[in-house]
């Protein structure tokens, strides 16, 4: 039988490797930024066009590369970071496997310009699909500039799997934030389609967070500091009142490398136990410093997941440190066993002026007199002796009788309604047309059997069609707020709201001002309570960023779905009888009552025959 196993050509092997390393433009951004940091750059610029699909360029002022190194950097498994297998457990750099540039060059047009500090001229290399097109000497400043153009040009199937520019740009922003937050000692700048998106000067960690997420973030932060032999923790957590429905602002850095760890995330959540509303998530920006020998970074292609030797100890230390900080800064109540509670000032004496105590003496008081009068006292006190003890019980019998009579005249504020045996049966049945089961489902009787409605999904369908109608005819009814509502968002979130502003106004929102970090709202739709406005906008921003449901849906449809999801009554909410009947009537007045806006079943019908079979 002929041999069938053969070695793959290099360009095919590189494309397969690129499938693991380069998933989208954000993956290229991550690898190039980390290379610039490893080159000891102090200033890094990122230039993006069309969310990275057309161009991703990173310019740094690092140490640059020689002619040989520049050529060798595009070979697979060529790296300056490690020499032996033991070096994998003493890593202090970002990249180390030597796959990034080779993978990127296999699926894009790459142009590299680099120059070392002591060289007079630099080198330029142009590669298209792993093929070197040109290599020549050029005049270029110190450092490295690498441009990645037309990503996935030779793999159209992968390019078709990319999402819209809004979603891909969000992933690029996420990667930029992760790298910039981990290195506040480096100056970063980002340009998107020719306009400046970020300009982050060298600063401390708190200033870097504020520069990225807006000035309002400063008052939300609670510092966390802990230094032990096993783990050093530094950074910030957000105050509970600023927790969001989404998990956007959650960052773990281990030895200046961003990681994802559901286990350590649970430690933070448990530290906030009892301080957050259900469904809200705390924000945190925490740097963990551990011995490189106690972690394994080489378990994931993108290096965002690492393995710890002793996760349980890290969990306990992290939870305790966060809990201590929340208590130390009076965010959470703490128990102080050394404090004497008797020395605390009562609440009703707070801010009350002290007064000199006055002692009043009744000088006419004589304890040996049977009766006395003093000042305004009018009540006479009779001395009881052992001789007339039986007089104390005189009249008890009559009092007891009176008490019984008094109880017979007691009236209750609300009496329980009883149904007469001769009441109209039809009227009784009409008052019990719907029932609420476990505060989740509405049960109603129909001619063929029983109807069970999911109240949350049903209300979503009702609100969705109402919002969609208002958006289509552009006649949303608005209620004016007594005081303008000012909300704070990051610059990227403000851009999304600006794009949807016209559609939001058609639903009933009235915007009086939209600036770089704040929006001011003076009117909201009639069905929207003021307290829900920030939740609705946060959910809407999250849906747009994650492209829920998908690109082929219009912004109008997306907006209606998002607002319906935010405002629909939740499972566990008790409804009055009239509210239940109104929900049932409104549902079956919808065009598509069978499914929710997300195509989930809203109700089921159990026929009498199905019920009969249950009792066989």
Looking at the fold, whether 251 and 305 belong to one and the same domain comes out as yes
Give me the residues paired with residue 479 across strands.
Answer: 524
Residue 19 lies in a domain: yes
Domain extent, residue 448, equals 436-605
Tens-place pLDDT, residues 3-34: 788 887 776 776 676 666 788 899 999 989 98
CA 356, CA 416: separation in Å to the nearest integer? 55
What pLDDT does 206 receive? 93
Which of 328, 344, 378 is at the close of a domain? 328
Residue 452 in tokens: 């069970």
Residue 537 lies in a domain: yes
What pLDDT does 369 receive? 72
Which of 168, 200, 232 is at the close of a domain? 200
Looking at the fold, whether 23 and 135 belong to one and the same domain comes out as yes
The CATH number of whichever domain residue 225 belongs to comes to 3.30.230.10
Looking at the fold, whether 218 and 162 belong to one and the same domain comes out as no
Query: What would you report as the CA-atom Rg of the chain, rounded to the nearest whole angstrom?
Result: 36
Looking at the fold, whether 444 and 546 belong to one and the same domain comes out as yes
Percent of the chain with pLDDT over 90: 25
Reported confidence tier of residue 332, pLDDT bands at 50, 70, 90: low
What pLDDT does 249 receive? 85
Does 58 score more than 90 pLDDT? yes
Looking at the fold, whether 194 and 230 belong to one and the same domain comes out as no
Does 235 score more than 90 pLDDT? yes
CA 262, CA 204: separation in Å to the nearest integer? 27
Residue 414 lies in a domain: no
Does 208 score more than 70 pLDDT? yes
Nearest to 602 by CA among 441, 466, 448, 435: 441
Cα end-to-end distance, the chain, whole Å: 65
Residue 395 lies in a domain: no
Does 118 score more than 80 pLDDT? yes
What pLDDT does 125 receive? 93
Total structural domains within the chain: 3
Pick the more confident residue, 41 or 156. 41
221-244 core/surface letters (b: 16 or more CB in 10 A; e: else): bbebebeeeebebbbbbbbbebbb
Tens-place pLDDT, residues 415-440: 454 444 444 444 434 444 788 888 89
Reported confidence tier of residue 71, pLDDT bands at 50, 70, 90: confident
Looking at the fold, whether 576 and 446 belong to one and the same domain comes out as yes
Looking at the fold, whether 175 and 277 belong to one and the same domain comes out as no
Average pLDDT taken over every residue of the chain:
80
Please state the rounded mean pLDDT for residues 335-353: 63
Does 442 score more than 80 pLDDT? yes
């Amino acid at each position: 039988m002929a041999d069938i196993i053969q070695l793959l050509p290099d360009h095919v092997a590189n494309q397969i490797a690129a499938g693991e390393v380069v998933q989208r433009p954000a993956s290229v951004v991550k690898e190039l930024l980390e290379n610039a940091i490893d080159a000891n750059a102090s200033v890094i610029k990122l230039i993006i066009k069309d969310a990275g699909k057309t161009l991703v360029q990173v310019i740094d002022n690092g140490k640059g590369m020689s002619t040989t190194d520049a050529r060798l950097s595009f070979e697979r498994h060529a790296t300056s970071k490690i020499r032996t297998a033991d070096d994998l457990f003493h890593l202090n750099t970002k990249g180390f496997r030597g796959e990034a540039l080779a993978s990127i060059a296999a699926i894009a047009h790459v142009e590299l310009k680099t120059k070392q500090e002591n060289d007079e001229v630099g080198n330029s290399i142009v590669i298209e699909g792993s093929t070197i097109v040109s290599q020549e000497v050029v005049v270029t400043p110190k450092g490295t500039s690498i441009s990645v153009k037309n990503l996935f040009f030779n793999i159209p199937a992968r390019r078709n799997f990319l999402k819209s520019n809004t979603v891909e740009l969000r992933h690029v922003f996420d990667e930029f934030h992760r790298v910039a937050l981990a290195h506040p000692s480096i100056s970063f700048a980002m340009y998107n389609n020719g306009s400046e998106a970020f300009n982050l000067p060298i600063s401390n960690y708190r200033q870097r967070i504020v520069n990225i997420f807006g000035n309002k973030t400063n008052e939300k932060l609670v510092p966390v500091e802990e230094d032990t032999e096993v783990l050093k923790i530094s950074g910030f957590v957000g105050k509970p009142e600023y927790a969001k429905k989404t998990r956007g602002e959650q960052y773990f850095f281990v030895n200046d490398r961003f990681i994802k760890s559901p286990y350590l995330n649970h430690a933070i959540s448990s530290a906030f136990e009892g301080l957050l509303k259900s469904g809200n998530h705390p924000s945190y920006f925490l740097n963990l410093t551990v011995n490189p020998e106690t972690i394994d970074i080489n378990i994931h292609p993108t290096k965002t997941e690492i393995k710890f030797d002793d996760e349980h100890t890290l969990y306990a230390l992290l939870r305790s440190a966060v809990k201590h900080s929340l208590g130390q800064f009076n965010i959470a109540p703490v128990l102080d066993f050394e404090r004497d509670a008797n020395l605390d000032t009562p609440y009703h004496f707070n801010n009350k002026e002290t007064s000199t105590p006055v002692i009043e003496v009744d000088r006419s008081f004589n304890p040996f007199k049977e009766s006395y009068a003093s000042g305004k006292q009018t009540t006479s006190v009779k001395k009881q002796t052992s001789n007339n003890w039986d007089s104390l019980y005189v009249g008890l019998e009559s009092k007891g009788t009176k008490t019984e009579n008094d109880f017979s005249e007691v009236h209750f504020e609300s009496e329980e309604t009883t149904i007469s045996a001769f009441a109209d049966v039809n009227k009784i049945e009409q008052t019990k047309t719907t029932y609420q089961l476990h505060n989740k489902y509405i049960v109603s009787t129909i001619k063929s059997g029983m109807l069970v409605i999911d109240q949350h999904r049903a209300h979503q369908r009702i609100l969705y069609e109402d919002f969609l109608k208002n958006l289509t005819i552009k006649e949303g009814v608005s209620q004016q707020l007594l005081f303008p509502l000012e909300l704070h968002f990051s610059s990227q979130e403000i851009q999304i709201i600006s794009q949807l502003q016209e559609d939001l106004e058609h639903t009933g929102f009235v915007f009086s001002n939209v600036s770089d970090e704040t929006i001011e709202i003076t009117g909201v739709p009639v069905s929207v309570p003021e307290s829900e406005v920030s939740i609705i906008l946060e959910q809407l921003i999250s849906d747009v960023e994650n492209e829920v449901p998908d690109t082929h849906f219009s912004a109008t449809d997306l907006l209606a779905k998002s607002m319906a999801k935010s405002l629909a009554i939740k499972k566990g909410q008790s409804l009055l009888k009239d509210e239940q009947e109104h929900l049932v009537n409104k549902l079956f007045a919808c065009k598509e009552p069978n499914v929710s806006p997300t195509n989930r079943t809203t109700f089921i019908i159990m026929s009498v025959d199905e019920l009969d079979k249950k009792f066989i």
